[in-house]
Structure 1
Amino acid sequence: MPTKEPTHADMPNSALAVVVHAAGDLRVEKVDVAVPKPDEAVLDIAYGGICGSDLHYWQHGAAGESILRAPMRLGHEASGTVLIAAADGSGPAAGTPVTIHPATPGGDSARYPADRPNISPGCTYLGSAARFPHSDGTFIEHLTVPTRMLRALPGNLDLRTAALAEPASVAWHAVARAGEVTGRTALVVGAGPIGTLVVAVLKRAGAAHITAVDLQDYPLSIARRIGADQVINAKDTDAISATEADITIECSGHHTGLASAIHGTARGGRVVMVGLLPTGDQPVPISLAITRELDLVGSFRFNDEIDQVVGALADGSLAVEPIITAEYDATEALAAFEKARDATASSKVLLRF
């Protein structure tokens, strides 16, 4: 007999979720599963990646200017399987493995380029406290989500690897902001998960020589495994300055990292700023950027690059396996977060749901 297609009547009422209530207050608790609208599907989440913003909400109750004002479910890096397809027929069928594009572009009176919705002023993101009410994230067993966010996975792409599609898209967008990469030398400052994913994307794009910089040996070892030709400790400022890279991608999110990026870039080169520095003025050597005629370019999230990333992960041309350094059951979320914040012993930490 044919298998009955799951419907809303089969939907679970509650699910295990990872929720931050305040700085230092992370809980694994049962929450209600949102009843889907006609254009929404319900997913069985398989994996969720812990991002730096998740760590900031847990440790500080804020991520940059996004301040926690109420309990919020964390997570925006995820993969899973469609449990209940959308009632309006949009999106993938039940049983389809998917990853998630967590952005909802939006506008107000402020102007932005129509082809760059990632910088639209009203853009919301899953697992973000930028607006209130907050946008709950993907760290839940059963997630209700608009089908426009879903990307079906090729049969040869496993759910574990697909959990990195979102951060890999951030890296892909950053490399695109760097311009032509093939045959050029590149410097990556900050070898955390985004930095090492940038190394992987640069390698795939044909960079002639890639140098990675970090304060810790462990992330530098991951950068080596993922494709860096050279690694430098961030304290060795002379070695960084001697790099003279054509392209530098700053991923540390610290003003000293941006200073290193400027010092390590050749005259006429380009610095792509990915790491989100704290709000307010920053002490960086802008005069050097001026006299060297450096291009300083911002890079924020991504647009449709996730479609290319899914294809590159599936065909193996974008190798990310070394970046996944630990997995924890969702019930052990606090231990997973403790592991993820230790840059001396971890890169990307995944939660299993």
Structure 2
Amino acid sequence: MLTRVARLYGTRDLRVETHDSPDPGPGEVRLRMAAGGICGSDLHYYQDGGFGPVRVREPIIAGHEASGIVETVGSGASHLAPGMLVAVNPSQPCGQCRFCDLGQTIHCLSMRFMGSAMRLPHEQGMFRDRLTVPAIQCHPVAKGVTPAEAACSEPLAVCLHAVAQAGDLSGASVLVTGAGPIGLLTVAAARHAGAGRIVVTDLSDAALGRAPAMGADETINVARDPAGLSPYEKDKGLFDVVFECSAAAPALRSVFAVIQPRGTLVQLGVTGDMSFPLNALVSKEIVWRGSQRFDREFALAVDLISRRAIDVRPIITHSLPLASAVEAFEQAGDRSVACKVQLTFDEAG
């Protein structure tokens, strides 16, 4: 069966074209895709041809956060039935390498991650009308949950994993730098984990305006108020935990002044090389942890969204049809108005 896809050929060269969608084999299902969110990495591929050492080296179907409706079920996929709305986990660890054996599947040596240009050949993504995928990667969502909400399961899982890296947040004072989709979902995940006061910084009033709905107590526009964080420098720093989601050098440097000694800094934002105050890291005995992707948190994200224990709807700002994929990517790059931009999949669109 032929289906439309959004395929990226290079910087700002995104084309909607046709691609074959095979029938499902044993243990597989074919989905009629419903909604797909444009992630920061998708945007980097589109705007810059990649990020850091990861470059688009061959045509790639973008998209790794999506939901779909089960259309055809292969043998052995008994937990799914036609008509079900599911969130699709884009991770496909091998289950056999030494990291999988250790239970560290995030670091699988043969990880396949949909829509990723990390390996050659690239792993093709989910921005397409139909997708045939192993049934084990499909997580049913509750009735009443929209496809747009279900498609937020992947980014929420990223943030749940990051919050887990920080340990017990009960009553903790938390700073989140960067109020994009990941920053805002981190706020929601930290609030759900029992954080005390949560402060969010960004350069954009539009981005910060969404933070209270996700659980923030205070927002600071550090472009307009560069000294806005200075009260938190008191007594060697007042934040127990910082989630750095911006990958901006000024934001990272400011963190070391406001985090308390032996505080925990969880790094979600990614970029190339940058400088940071090593002396502060050492003298304050700061725990600086990287956090990437997720594992069991995907199922947790689907559950939280299904129960609306975490409400993702405030971050969803734009929805455009697959035929308007270029417009959607351009919209996603305008942080003055956009947060989470999603594609919808309707063959008539």
C-alpha spacing 1:89/1:147, structure 2 compared with 1 (3 Å): closer
The answer to whether the aligner puts 1:310 opposite 2:298 as a matched pair is no
TM-score normalised by length of structure 2: 0.92
Q: Is the 8 A contact 2:214 2:314 kept in 1?
A: yes
Q: Whole-Å Cα distance in 1 between the matches of residues 52 and 95 of structure 2?
A: 21
Counterpart of 1:256, as a letter, is P
Over residues 76-105 of structure 1, what are the superposed CA-to-partner deviations in whole Å (9 max), with x where a residue is unaligned? Answer: 010111101122335512221100110112
The answer to whether the aligner puts 1:319 opposite 2:308 as a matched pair is no
Over residues 293-348 of structure 1, what are the superposed CA-to-partner deviations in whole Å (9 max), with x where a residue is unaligned? Answer: 11001101000111111111122210211100111111111111111011111100
Q: Is the 8 A contact 2:93 2:100 kept in 1?
A: no
Q: Is the 8 A contact 1:85 1:91 kept in 2?
A: no
- Larger mean Cα displacement after TM superposition, 74-83 or 254-263: 254-263
1:105-184 aligned within 5 A: 105-106=93-94, 114-184=102-172
Counterpart of 1:151, as a letter, is H
Q: Is the 8 A contact 1:96 1:152 kept in 2?
A: yes
Q: Whole-Å Cα distance in 1 between the matches of residues 254 and 208 of structure 2?
A: 16
The answer to whether the aligner puts 1:253 opposite 2:241 as a matched pair is no
Partner in structure 2 of residue 57 of structure 1:
45
Counterpart of 2:201, as a letter, is V
Q: Whole-Å Cα distance in 1 between the matches of residues 18 and 125 of structure 2?
A: 14
CA drift of 1:246 comes to 0.6
- Larger mean Cα displacement after TM superposition, 298-307 or 251-260: 251-260
Partner in structure 1 of residue 231 of structure 2:
242
Partner in structure 1 of residue 24 of structure 2:
36
1:224-235 aligned within 5 A: 224-235=212-223
C-alpha spacing 1:20/1:162, structure 2 compared with 1 (3 Å): same
CA drift of 1:241 comes to 4.3
Q: Whole-Å Cα distance in 2 between the matches of residues 81 and 64 of structure 1?
A: 35
Q: Is the 8 A contact 1:15 1:141 kept in 2?
A: yes
Structure 2 residue corresponding to 1:348, chosen from 337, 340, 348: 340
Q: Whole-Å Cα distance in 1 between the matches of residues 109 and 257 of structure 2?
A: 32
Counterpart of 1:201, as a letter, is A
Q: Whole-Å Cα distance in 1 between the matches of residues 271 and 50 of structure 2?
A: 13
Q: Is the 8 A contact 1:103 1:125 kept in 2?
A: yes
Q: Whole-Å Cα distance in 2 between the matches of residues 320 and 212 of structure 1?
A: 17
Structure 1 residue matching 2:263: 3-state secondary structure: strand
Q: Whole-Å Cα distance in 1 between the matches of residues 148 and 265 of structure 2?
A: 32
> Structure 2: which 5+ residue stretches go unaligned?
233-237
C-alpha spacing 1:316/1:88, structure 2 compared with 1 (3 Å): closer
Q: Whole-Å Cα distance in 2 between the matches of residues 76 and 311 of structure 1?
A: 19
CA drift of 1:264 comes to 2.4
TM-score normalised by length of structure 1: 0.91
Counterpart of 1:345, as a letter, is V
Q: Whole-Å Cα distance in 2 between the matches of residues 348 and 144 of structure 1?
A: 25
CA drift of 1:157 comes to 2.3
Partner in structure 1 of residue 235 of structure 2:
none
The answer to whether the aligner puts 1:262 opposite 2:256 as a matched pair is yes
Q: Is the 8 A contact 1:19 1:72 kept in 2?
A: yes
Q: Whole-Å Cα distance in 2 between the matches of residues 320 and 88 of structure 1?
A: 33
Give the alignment's Cα RMSD to 1 decimal: 1.8
Over residues 165-220 of structure 1, what are the superposed CA-to-partner deviations in whole Å (9 max), with x where a residue is unaligned? Answer: 00000011111111111111100011100000001111122211100011111111
1:214-225 aligned within 5 A: 214-225=202-213
Structure 2 residue corresponding to 1:339, chosen from 331, 335, 345: 331
> Structure 1: which 5+ residue stretches go unaligned?
1-12
Q: Whole-Å Cα distance in 2 between the matches of residues 271 and 65 of structure 1?
A: 24
